[in-house]
Amino acid sequence: MKVTIFGATGLLGRECLSQCLEAGHEVTVLVRTPSKLPEGLRDRITIIEGDGLDPEAVEKALADGAEGILFAVGVDKHSPEDLCTDVTRNILASMRKHGTRRLVWCSGGNTDEHGDVVSFGSKFVGWFSRTFMALRQRDKVHQTALLRDSLDIEWIGIRPLQMHKGPRRGSYRVGFHRYSGLSKITAADCAEEMIRMLADDTWLHRAPVIQY
């Protein structure tokens, strides 16, 4: 499959990149700083230098017959307001133009989804996110709303809680199980599931939680 990755230089994006190549996919990445890509992988992928906030750069990243997209863009305290939402809006427009089939995007447990088990733990995650990660929280809420209004696109979301470095276990839970601030997943396992979702319709137009 021809896969375009957004956010390929971050923790999750690097895992998506290496595992896509391992699985035999043909990969294009849109990055602002190509030098941040793993040196050993640069000659195995198509690199588009640019910003996801630039509609022309996004279109260029999809123009060569992209069949699936992995969205691993991260938000930190220096990110502009609604970074993920605005990049997603550009991606959706380009997908419609080029007929790209599938978008798998990483959200977070700080957003609510129909089917979630409401518990003290989930309420704590929501409170913590709104209080200490407000920029990211607002962006993910807006991104989710945008995608819920875009049912003409085959999108699937995935919501990790505490995501960290670590080995790929290949054993985890995906769905609407009870979760809390202690729920964890490695970026390696999150990437594995995102890649699997490129060809699986189980969670179409849903955003399940991934955790151990």
- Between 151 and 128, the more confident residue is 151
pLDDT value of position 77: 83
Q: CATH number of the domain that 70 lies in? A: 3.40.50.720
**Cα 190 from Cα 19, distance rounded (Å):** 11
Total domains in the chain come to: 1
Quote the longest CA-to-CA distance of the chain: 48
User: What are the residues whose beta carbons fall under 8 Å from the beta carbon of 24, sequence distance 6 or more?
Assistant: none
Distance CA 191, CA 183 (A): 17
For residue 128, is pLDDT > 80?
no
Q: How far is residue 4's CA from residue 51's CA, in Å, rounded to a whole number?
A: 14
Give the separation between CA 98 and CA 64, rounded to whole angstroms: 9
Cα–Cα dist 11/92, whole Å: 24
Average pLDDT over residues 14-31: 98
* Structural domain span for residue 98: 2-211
Phi, psi of 173 (to 5 degrees): -110, 135
Q: For the chain, where are the alpha helices, taking DSSP H only?
A: 11-22, 55-62, 83-98, 120-132, 134-148, 187-197
**Does residue 23 carry a pLDDT above 70?**
yes
pTM over 0.85: yes
